[in-house]
A = this chain, B = another copy of it.
Amino acid sequence: MTPDAGGRFFEDFTLGERITHATPRTLESGDIALYQALYGGRHILNSSLPAAQAAGYVSRPLENWLVFHIVFGKTVPDISRNAIANLGYAEGRFLAPVYCGDTVSAASEVMGLRENSNGKSGIVMVRSRGFNQHQEMIVEYTRWVMVNKRDPSASAPDPSMPQLAAAVAPADLVPPPEGISTLDSAQSGSDKYFDDYETGLFIDHHDGVTLEDSEHMLATRAYQNTARVHFDGLAQQETRFGKRLIYGGHIISHARAMSFNGLENAVCVAGLNAGTHAAPAFAGDTIYAGTRIMDKASIVGVESVGALRLRHFVTKNKPVGDIAELVSNQETETRPDDLLLDLDCWVWMARR
């Protein structure tokens, strides 16, 4: 009855299977404070209760990526404990605000399976959904990972992999309350709004942050994410990395916080179109972020915000400005060696 090292291997997944993840987690003001200390965000809806209430929220909403990481963390023991690589995200949407006191649970559905040609591993694609204690869906996204087979000789199911949208359609995004229009520009940090941003613009967010082992571990444990590569420095010495890998979501949260400089009124995250952790991040790396405006969309019937499609780039040990030329070239898929994260998402930008 002793458990094995835990987690499913490729042959343990069945197409269409639905998996309920343990353990529901109640989020409270302490989680806000810790997230604040980890990333230093300054977006007004997450920082100020009166501003959030004036905007029409019941209370101060938790950061979208915090909610995402909590849901993601729950999926790890079932989905990616034996993953070799986290390959991509798509079709992500934030559907409802999460407040202090809410309890988040998660479930996933196996959407795609395809054995790799080497017979030793395969791709598992899941659609993961987070719920609050009222069983309302708060976030959903698709991700796919490469998972080892336990037994290379095990037979594999017929390959099946759904086609994914290149981006969430703006009309499918869930807008925030209309009270966003009441935000004060002196308090939010900028008088730049939706109409001030042009597609194609590249913004260098300028700040650099050196990463620490204790910080990414605190974060990853707060998310109840149990992937061993983040914690076991001794076992990592035996790998090609030689040290603990930082959870990719930790970099996403830094990117969001850093993007405040120049995108102050991007009041919340709306959707996740695609994301690539292009290189591993380690303690001691210093990261920088820049963002390119990829698209913008007004939503019929929504006055207070418009949707901006952003591509966040995070570099390591080289200011993002140095590679801006490369990363802002939408046509090429070339990724400079120094690129750590390439994240394509929708945000809600306040308008006046």
Interface residues of A (CB under 8 A from B): 1-3, 5-6, 20, 22-26, 28-34, 36-40, 42-44, 47-51, 60, 77, 100-101, 103, 105, 133, 186-190, 192, 196-198, 201-204, 206-210, 212-215, 217-222, 224, 226, 228, 231-235, 244, 261-262, 264, 284, 286, 317
Contact = CB atoms under 8 A, between A and B. Distances in A.
B224 A42 contact: yes
B235 A208 contact: yes
Given A103-B49, A207-B232, A212-B217, A23 B42 contact: yes
Contact of A44 (B22, B34, B264): B22
The 9 closest A-B pairs by CB, nearest first: A30-B33, A40-B221, A22-B189, A208-B232, A210-B233, A28-B29, A30-B30, A234-B286, A24-B48
Nearest to A224: B42
A143 to B, nearest CB: 21
Given A210-B234, A221-B37, A244-B210, A48 B26 contact: yes
A209 B196 contact: no
B1 A24 contact: no
Given A24-B44, A26-B50, A33-B33, 13 more contacts: A3-B203, A5-B206, A23-B48, A24-B47, A24-B48, A30-B33, A30-B34, A37-B222, A50-B133, A206-B228, A208-B231, A210-B232, A214-B215
Count of this chain's copies in the oligomeric assembly: 3
A264 B43 CA distance: 38
Contacts of A212: 213-214, 217
Contacts of A210: 213, 231-234, 244
Contacts of A24: 44, 47-48, 50-51, 187
A187 B23 contact: yes
Contacts of A226: 40, 42, 207
21 contacts: A1-B196, A1-B198, A2-B262, A3-B203, A3-B206, A5-B206, A22-B188, A23-B47, A23-B48, A23-B187, A23-B189, A24-B44, A28-B30, A30-B30, A30-B32, A38-B218, A40-B226, A42-B226, A47-B224, A207-B226, A210-B234
